């Protein structure tokens, strides 16, 4: 599965440069498939790698490395670097890897590999235009990882059902009533949101920090949908270029967060004992970053072809697929009649939205 994800990313530039890049249906289908099959799997495996059984206290030597008490005990720069990575929470580490990998792939995974300097210059030139969307992108990704790590797929994506509704509100505030679809289409958002919630509801255990993180992620994702659409219209660049520009800004934010974590961890009283877990292997880290990059390149390309509300509706259906795939990959309680009713309700709502939007 890792090889499939990585090879898909390697060919992303070819896909984007073809006639397919203007086919909203094809791009949207690819985005949903890559998200449901690849991102769901590798994100969850990365976050849970090592298991809770490995959440133990720091060993004396590790504590010395983190606190800086005995520099002579640090054998090499590699040891120090690994200590920094191990001092980070798993959601924070995933966020750093994702944006570093996405930036790298955006610059170098291209048929014209030797023109990477031009792409880097181009990325830096548009970083300012996508700075605000990048902040929302970073917030949505980091908080989503925190939520998945703490409360799991079902409750996390139950909260995500509010994204289409938040997107409608933000679109209304930003562009006025003229930017909204018909009343029938707006009414169709209700069964979509309700259906996704019912489909994912499985008597989850409520955990305050995880639930708050999920709601913050939902709000940031809706803000990202609207703000990135405006930036894409303003600049006229492709989804691949937009993702790379935002990844550069988000990676800078992740580096700042990492630096703050390093400073904080130098105080033994602030050492997070839950973070002493084996680092995920290189192949898993690369697959998680690659799956993220491919998903978001297609996501922003799809967003450039449709309205934010249509994007938000498709996003709700995508999350429904994530819930189903998550249960298939990692198990869980069997679907109840309430779950099946929610799936049907969300699909009918999506169909109704598409028909109503086309008639406006």
What confidence tens digit (pLDDT) does each residue in 286-319 have?
Answer: 999 999 999 988 888 888 788 777 887 888 888 8
Neighbours of 33 (CB within 10 A): 15
Mean pLDDT on 19-31: 78
Neighbours of 67 (CB within 10 A): 16
Domain spans in the chain, listed from the N-terminal domain onward: 2-358
* Residue 355 backbone phi and psi in degrees, to 5: -65, -45
| Residues 16 and 240 sit within 8 Å (Cβ to Cβ) | yes
Write the pLDDT tens digit of every residue in 220-241: 998 998 888 889 889 988 878 8
Q: Is the pLDDT of residue 54 over 80?
A: no
Asked if the model's pLDDT at residue 68 lies above 80, the reply is: no
Full-prediction pTM beyond 0.75? yes
Report the C-alpha dihedral over residues 81, 83, 87, 93, rounded to 10 degrees.
Answer: 40
CA 211 – CA 160 distance, rounded (Å): 11
Half-sphere exposure of 92 (CA within 13 A, CB side): 18
d(CA 243, CA 127) in angstroms, rounded, equals 10
Per-residue pLDDT at 342 exceeds 70: yes
């Amino acid at each position: 599965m890792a090889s499939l994800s990585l090879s898909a990313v390697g060919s992303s530039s070819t896909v984007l440069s073809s006639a397919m890049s203007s086919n909203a249906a094809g791009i949207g289908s690819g985005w949903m498939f890559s998200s449901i099959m690849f991102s769901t799997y590798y994100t969850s495996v990365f976050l849970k790698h090592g298991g809770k059984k490995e959440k133990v206290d720091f060993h004396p030597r590790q504590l010395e490395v983190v606190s800086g008490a005995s520099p002579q005990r640090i054998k090499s720069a590699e040891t120090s670097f690994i200590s920094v990575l191990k001092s980070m929470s798993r959601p924070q580490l995933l966020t750093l890897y994702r944006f570093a990998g996405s930036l790298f792939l955006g610059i170098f995974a291209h048929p014209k590999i030797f023109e990477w300097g031009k792409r880097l210059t181009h990325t830096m030139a548009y970083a300012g235009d996508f700075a605000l969307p990048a902040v929302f992108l970073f917030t949505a990704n980091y908080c989503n990882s925190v939520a998945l790590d703490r409360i799991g797929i079902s409750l996390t994506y139950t909260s995500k059902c509010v994204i289409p509704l938040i997107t409608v509100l933000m679109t209304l505030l930003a562009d006025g009533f003229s930017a909204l679809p018909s009343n029938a289409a707006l009414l169709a958002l209700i069964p979509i949101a309700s259906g996704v919630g019912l489909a994912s509801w499985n008597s989850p255990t409520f955990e305050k920090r995880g639930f708050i993180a999920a709601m913050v992620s939902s709000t940031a994702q809706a803000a990202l949908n609207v703000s990135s659409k405006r930036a894409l219209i303003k600049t006229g660049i492709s989804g691949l270029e937009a993702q790379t520009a935002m990844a550069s800004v988000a990676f800078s934010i992740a580096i700042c967060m990492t630096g703050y974590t390093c400073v904080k961890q130098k105080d033994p009283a602030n050492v997070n004992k839950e973070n002493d877990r084996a680092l995920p292997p290189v192949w898993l880290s690369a697959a998680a970053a690659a799956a993220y990059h491919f998903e978001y390149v297609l996501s922003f390309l799809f967003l450039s072809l449709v309205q934010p509300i249509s994007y938000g509706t498709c996003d709700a259906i995508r999350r429904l697929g994530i819930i189903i795939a998550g249960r298939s990959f990692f198990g869980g309680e069997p679907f109840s009649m309430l779950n099946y009713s929610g799936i049907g309700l969300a699909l009918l709502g999506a169909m109704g939205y598409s028909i109503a939007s086309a008639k406006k």
